[in-house]
């Protein structure tokens, strides 16, 4: 098998013409998100180009400190992104989210790289790309889980107050909200797994095949990383919500909205 075709700048720039299709559809549909699309495309390009330069340097000069710093930056950005979307959470809840996201992600990453792949955790070729997939999906899952949890609490405020007045404990009231939010956060990943291989060829597998890796090897890696991602999302959201919801009530069984 041949390796991936190297794109020159002209070939690469042609892909941006596809944005015109999105802009046309947005205009026809009266969706006022042109600025957002342009900013998102620009930021994505700048961030990925910078990441490309940084990763090229790290791969050419492999050192544990570079891997550690890159993962720390990745975790810090993930935490900041999640918390910026959930500013109404109390301080203890935010700490629970931050610890769950970082520790769960690190646990899955270390297990996958050292046990499944059998490489050193300081090997940038494996650790950094896998960390990106694991932390990125965990970040998305937690964001969705917290959004569902907070929105359901707000919409069911009267019901919660009525249950409290009837003497139902906050734990029994809040736990169904936690479980429902966890299920909602897991659904996109599980639906993605259901259609994988038939409806879609996932990015990691496609990238490996383009680079010349045998499809059978690419398939095994893709199955392994999808299970790792699903576990990471599940563990992160579970820990975030189960430790976080307990900060919403006090010893007098009062729920603090």
Read off the pTM: 0.84
Per-residue pLDDT of the chain (257 residues; tens, 9 = 90+): 555 567 778 888 888 899 999 999 988 888 888 899 899 999 989 988 898 899 899 989 989 999 999 999 999 999 999 999 888 899 999 999 999 999 999 999 999 999 999 999 999 988 998 999 999 999 999 999 999 999 999 998 888 888 888 888 889 999 999 999 999 999 998 888 887 766 666 666 666 666 666 777 778 888 888 899 999 999 999 999 999 999 988 877 777 76
Q: What SS3 string covers 73-111?
A: HHHHHHHHHHHHCCCCCCHHHHHHHHHHHHHHHHHHHHH
Phi, psi torsion values for 3, nearest 5 degrees: -75, 175
Q: What is the pLDDT of residue 128?
A: 92
- Find the largest Cα–Cα distance for the chain: 69
Domain boundaries, the chain: 1-61, 64-248
């Amino acid at each position: 098998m041949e390796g991936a075709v190297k794109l020159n700048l002209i070939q690469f720039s042609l892909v941006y013409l596809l944005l015109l299709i999105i802009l046309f559809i947005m205009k026809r549909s009266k969706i006022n998100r042109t600025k957002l699309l342009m900013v998102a495309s620009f930021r994505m390009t700048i961030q990925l180009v910078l990441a490309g330069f940084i990763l090229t340097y790290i791969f050419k000069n492999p050192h544990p400190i570079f891997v550690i710093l890159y993962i720390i930056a990745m975790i810090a950005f993930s935490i900041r992104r999640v918390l910026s979307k959930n500013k109404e959470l109390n301080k203890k809840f935010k700490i629970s989210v931050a610890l769950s996201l970082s520790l769960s992600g690190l646990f899955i990453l270390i297990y996958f790289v050292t046990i499944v792949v059998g490489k050193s955790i300081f090997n940038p070729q494996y650790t950094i790309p896998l960390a990106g997939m694991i932390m990125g999906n965990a970040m998305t899952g937690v964001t969705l889980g917290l959004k569902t949890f907070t929105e359901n609490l707000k919409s069911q405020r009267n019901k919660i107050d009525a249950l409290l007045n009837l003497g139902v404990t906050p734990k029994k009231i809040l736990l169904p909200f936690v479980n429902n939010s966890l299920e909602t956060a897991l659904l996109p990943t599980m639906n993605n797994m259901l259609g994988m291989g038939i409806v879609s060829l996932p990015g990691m597998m496609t990238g490996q095949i383009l680079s010349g890796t045998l499809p059978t090897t690419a398939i095994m890696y893709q199955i392994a990383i999808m299970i790792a991602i699903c576990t990471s999302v599940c563990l992160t959201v579970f820990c975030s919500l189960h430790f976080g919801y307990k900060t919403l009530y006090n010893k007098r069984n009062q729920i603090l909205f």
